[in-house]
Amino acid sequence: MFVEPSRQRSERRVLVVDDDEGVRTGVAWALEAEGFCVETVPDGVSAIERIESSPPSLVVLDLSLPGMGGLDILRRVRQREQRSGTYRLPVIVLSGRDGETDRIVGLDLGADDYLVKPFSPGELAARARSVLRRCGEYGGGPTDRFVPKGVGVEVDVGAREVWVDGELVSLAAKEFELLAYFVGRPRRACTRDELLAAVWSSGEGWQTPATVTEHVYRLRQKVEDDPGRPKRLTTVRAVGYRWEG
């Protein structure tokens, strides 16, 4: 019997963390309808236990949780990954607050996407697919390593490490993901809109191209010998940026 591809059962397991039973049920229904295997928990302690004992493919994480809050969970997960060098777990953050500060904090702590309640089930499912595609695209496993010839930069996606001229360099979460996207596409001119969609799962309706510009500026401070005259991450006038790998 033919089954519509989007409705096939998937090995992609999603952990939904929210203290509101109605939200958990709605999110689970939307994702299961798209073929995801879904598990739900109501609090941060249960979430950490599940993540550490049996890591899912994706976490949908509410910020406003009793006890251990969503940002605390995200911080703990990212710190643990950094210490152990394990594969980065994709996380979509949910919040009832539409403030820019919350978005910035969540993204800077390593969230892969951010949705404000209320949201449509279809949008959540689409973002889940987008985040998983993006992570699979340049974060598929612990052996993904880019060593562009002649530019002195090595990017180890699995370990989330960047070496510049033989020295380990510390990057923020989005800086790393932006660099990984660039080095995986050497000599390709990438537009700011493309980068917003690929690295932030976003667009101008939510974030402006200035977000990309600022992160490119920060990245150049860490990977260029002379950030004012970049030779590795160059500007393509009227288009965007290109990695000269």
Query: How would you write 189-224 as a 3-class SS string?
Result: EEEHHHHHHHHCCCCCCCCCHHHHHHHHHHHHHHHC
> When comparing pLDDT for 137 and 183, which is higher?
183
pLDDT mean over 188-215? 81
Chain segment 47-57, per-residue pLDDT in tens: 999 998 888 88
Helix 100-108 to helix 173-183 angle (10° resolution) is 60
pLDDT mean over 122-134? 81
Q: pLDDT value at position 17?
A: 96
Q: Which residues pair with 17 in a beta bridge?
A: 41, 61
Q: How confident is the model at residue 87 (pLDDT cuts 50, 70, 90)?
A: low
Q: How confident is the model at residue 39 (pLDDT cuts 50, 70, 90)?
A: very high
Query: Each residue of 21-36: b (16+ CB within 10 Å) or e?
Result: eebbebbbebbbebbb
Q: At residue 245, does pLDDT exceed 80?
A: no
pLDDT mean over 111-135? 81
Q: pLDDT value at position 130?
A: 78
pTM above 0.75, yes or no: no
Q: How confident is the model at residue 62 (pLDDT cuts 50, 70, 90)?
A: very high
Dihedral angle sign, alpha carbons of residues 185, 190, 192, 196: negative
Q: At residue 37, does pLDDT exceed 80?
A: yes
Q: Which residue has the tokens 């397991």?
A: 13
**The three-state (H, E, C) secondary structure of 90-109, written as one string:** CEEEEECCCCHHHHHHHHHC
Q: At residue 150, does pLDDT exceed 80?
A: no
Q: pLDDT value at position 1?
A: 26
Q: At residue 195, does pLDDT exceed 80?
A: yes
Q: How large a percentage of the chain has pLDDT more than 90?
A: 31
Q: Kindly report the average pLDDT of the chain as a whole number.
A: 81
pLDDT mean over 188-209? 78
